[in-house]
Amino acid sequence: MDFWKTFPGREELLKWYDKNGDGQVRLVNAHMHTPYSFSAFTNISQALNMAVNENVKVAGINDFYTTDGYPEWAKACAERKIFPLFNIEYISLNRNDQSAGIKVNDPNNPGRTYLSGKGLAFPAKLEEPYASKLESVRRESNLQVQKMCDKLNEVFLNCKAGFELDYEKIKSAMTKGMVRERHLAKALREKINTQFTSSEDQQLLYKTIFGGKALKSDIGNFAAIENEIRGNLLKAGGAAFISESPEAFLDMDDVCQIILKSGGIPTYPFLADDNNGNFTEFEAPKETVIEILKSRNICSVEFITTRNSIAVLEEYAAYFNKNGFIVTFGTEHNTPAMEPVELFARNNTPLTEMLLKINYEGACITAAHQYLVAKEGVGYLDIEGKPYQSKREYFATLGKAIIEYLIKI
């Protein structure tokens, strides 16, 4: 499938949009994980069928460390008249922040910094030495989870549980190549459900493997049980915890370069306010954060909206948008819990008209960037990764034309 052959040249697109565009703001979810990393969705079709049912017209795949899902995402989106964004997510390390004890967007680990790449080239591309660096990180990440699986089996043996987990079967049956600790938690929960038919027996086994700690969740609440498995066994202090190797993290600068060399836009994902209104040391005040991000050559930010209050979303999104940043929102869907694909703030609060417009504009600029990289080799960023700020309005309009063209033709 040559996705971009669907679209004419930019001038023809703009003329078409001049006649056919109606100026409406489309619903966007720019950050969705799929089973190519870990996801609440069983498959890509489920995710995009939900998007159709909830009238989401722009959807961004955003898996950890992999672009393997892009062809399936592009085909499934086109069939449903949804415009696809091609994104990726990495966990990087800023060693200066780590040395200073600064928590960035991981609330538990100083220096650890999640970064997304928005609008990568499709078909995916990545040249050496960056391709080898990425493959090395993928390999280390899988190795860590494999060691956790081995330690889980030691726990089961000591507890005389009567079963074990098969890492290779988990990898082949439950993943598309990237194995996460959440896969182990899901596999264990499913194994216990299969091996023990009564809820009493299941609860007794959980208490045994949790070292005497009773299961708190209802036995039918699968997402909550898997979170308890992770918290009691796979996180720091748990019997099957394996700390990540330094080789599992790329330097933040390297990740930004990998994103740029993949044709994408380096993007900072905000944690923003937690349930108590607190921010990490890095993320407040916003006036300081924006200067640091600019100095690191990052011109795009995103928010997972269900984490945040509507007031903070409006404050931060408006501020970064006003100051020339691309701003997008998503749901992530990177846990077992199923949520809507349509975006809401914390406590199921609907997004305001201002936030919907900001998100759509960010998606339009990203769409135009993808299109121009595919058609002409250069998008919204120059060769040094700097944005063409003077052309921002043009990119937003071109993106609207591209999105509307796919939806309506």
State pTM to two decimals.
Answer: 0.93
pLDDT at 159: 93
CA distance 136 to 126: 14
CA distance 346 to 366: 26
Strands (E), 188-288: 250-251, 265-270
pLDDT at 388: 97
Find out whether 378 and 54 touch, Cβ atoms under 8 Å.
Answer: no
pLDDT at 1: 59
Given CATH 3.20.20.140, say whether it is the number of domain 26-125+262-408.
yes
76-122 tens-digit pLDDT: 999 999 999 999 999 999 999 999 999 999 998 899 999 999 999 99
pLDDT at 144: 94
CA distance 352 to 356: 6
pLDDT at 374: 96
Q: Which two tokens stand for residue 113?
A: 């910094």
CA distance 173 to 401: 40
Residue with tokens 């995916």: 124
Residue ranges covered by each domain of the chain: 26-125+262-408, 132-234
- The low-confidence residues of the chain, meaning pLDDT below 70, are 1
Please tell me whether residue 127 adopts helix, strand or coil conformation. Answer: coil
pLDDT at 108: 87
Q: What is the CA radius of gyration of the chain?
A: 22
